[in-house]
Amino acid sequence: MKEEYLMLSVEEALERVLSPFQPLPPERIPILETLGRVMTEDVFADMDVPPLANTAMDGYAVRAEDTARASRENPVRLRIIDNLTAGRTTQVAVSTGCAIRIMTGVPIPPGADAVVQFEDTDQGGEWVAIFKGVETGTNVRLAGEDVKKGELILPRGTEIRPQEVGMLAALGRKEAWVHRRPRVAILATGDELIEIDAPWSPGKIHNSNSYSIVAQVIRYGGFPLMLGIARDDEGELTSKVREGLGKGADLFLTSGGVSMGDFDIVKKVLAAEGKMGFWRVRIKPGKPLAFGQIGGVLLLGLPGNPVSAMVTFELFARPAILKMQGKTRLEKPIIEAKLMDAVPHKDKRRHYLRVIVERQGSEYKAHLTGDQGSGILLSMVRSQGLAIIPEDVDHLPAGTKVPVMMLDWPEDK
Ligand code: AMP
Ligand code: MG
């Protein structure tokens, strides 16, 4: 069968799209820029954290045996021989009958083996009265109790969140090796399109796809290269495609020009410059999809309708962008929700309906966000997720439980 007539399931199409993508080469960058990136190196601790045993409390560093019989009625009096504020250490040892005033985090001075917190003292002056005995180790944080020198802390493949950034900082690392971000070229096609600040005239519409797609690329960690609009003209399309290739794109995304009516020109250009397949995918919205490579760069031709472009981006482009960053969890979370609206007779495609989701007790309820036409961008604007209605379901009564792919969470702020 000719490639362009192939009708693929979502899974088949996704498998074909994802398989040629590989994680991109590593780069070494400042740790504050690593958020959301995936590590390409194993990070071992080259020091203990904390580096020295230190106090968990503000108080007095003591020899525990000195405090053994202390009580509020019969306090033990110790002579204060030093005062250690944050960042200070001392060579002075705590000998029997003595104590050193000490602030949280300060290394335990030699001779001391416990800390009495201020609350269990009279706060002290030249001497301090201890009201409560402590045992060896009380209020002492051990060296290496967080991280031990030599330990593997962040294995390659770790996705960096704020806590990993903090850990790199705690280990004294300024930079880290991570997969670089994919550069994603974005090109809209269509004679009817005008720039968003151009004066409107009949027959024209604003190029909104480039903007929603750029935003999606940024959201999922890519670096967008916005190429603007190509007219439905072979020469212009060819030169725009070459411009994108010249900018070092790792992935090429086009929108429009892949529906049956007008895909000939896009097909011609793409076939001339590279190798391209056109498929139909058994989904709604977003049936037509082009995929192939051009100048050695993988290209995904998204449909032109604004909702179809966004939904097929989520299903096919997003996982490819994540895979290039070395990520392995490529799915959006899927929850089960009760769809409160009926779905009337549908065709044999898998439908992705835009829904708003609310949590009621332990269950989620989903409502359709109005008109579900593939040109109704407002249905995306009002939604948080995509309810997935399987191919073999014809009619769905209101109140049926369905899987919902969450693009955003109602609880997220
Ligand atoms: P096409 O796939 O090129 O036939 O486009 C399908 C529909 O999507 C048409 O109604 C187009 O006007 C619309 N469309 C195509 N590209 C864009 C775009 N960049 N922004 C907004 N709408 C678009
Ligand atoms: Mg078009």
For the segment 365-379, what is each residue's pLDDT rounded down to a tens digit?
A: 999 999 999 999 999
CATH code at 124? 2.170.190.11
Same domain, 293 and 356: no
Does the residue 413 lie in any domain?
no
Amino acid at 47: M
Same domain, 226 and 344: no
Q: List, in sequence order, every residue forming a beta bridge with 128; answer none if it has no partner.
A: 78
Same domain, 134 and 218: no
Same domain, 238 and 353: no
Per-residue pLDDT, 289? 87
Per-residue pLDDT, 267? 74
CB 114 within 8 A of CB 31: no
Q: Given pLDDT bands bounded at 50, 70 and 90, which one contains residue 1?
A: very low
Q: Given pLDDT bands bounded at 50, 70 and 90, which one contains residue 338?
A: very high
State the closest ligand 1 atom to the C-alpha of 259, by its place in the atom list counted from 1.
2
CATH code at 257? 3.40.980.10
Does the residue 216 lie in any domain?
yes
Average pLDDT of the segment spanning 352-363: 94
Considering its fold, how many domains does the chain have in total? 4
Same domain, 89 and 110: yes
Average pLDDT of the segment spanning 131-157: 97
CA of 237 to the centre of ligand 1 (A): 15
Per-residue pLDDT, 278? 78
State the closest ligand 1 atom to the C-alpha of 255, by its place in the atom list counted from 1.
16
Residue 109 Cβ < 6 Å to ligand 1: no
Ligand closest to 196 (CA) is 1
Domain hosting residue 119, numbered range: 54-141
Q: Given pLDDT bands bounded at 50, 70 and 90, which one contains residue 260?
A: low
Q: Which residues contact 247 (CB under 8 A, 6 or more apart)?
A: 183, 185, 225
Same domain, 383 and 343: yes
Last residue of a domain, one of 90, 113, 141: 141
Same domain, 313 and 400: no
Residue 411 pLDDT greater than 50, yes or no: yes
CA of 232 to the centre of ligand 1 (A): 12
Residue 2 pLDDT greater than 60, yes or no: no
Ligand closest to 254 (CA) is 1
Residue 3 pLDDT greater than 80, yes or no: no
Cα separation, 55 vs 379, whole angstroms: 57
Residue 78 pLDDT greater than 70, yes or no: yes
Same domain, 189 and 174: no
The whole model's pTM is what?
0.92
Ligand closest to 229 (CA) is 1
For the segment 176-226, what is each residue's pLDDT rounded down to a tens digit?
A: 999 999 999 999 999 999 999 999 999 999 999 999 999 999 999 999 999
CA of 356 to the centre of ligand 2 (A): 30
When mean pLDDT is compared across 15-29, 251-265, 273-287, 357-371, the lowest value belongs to 251-265
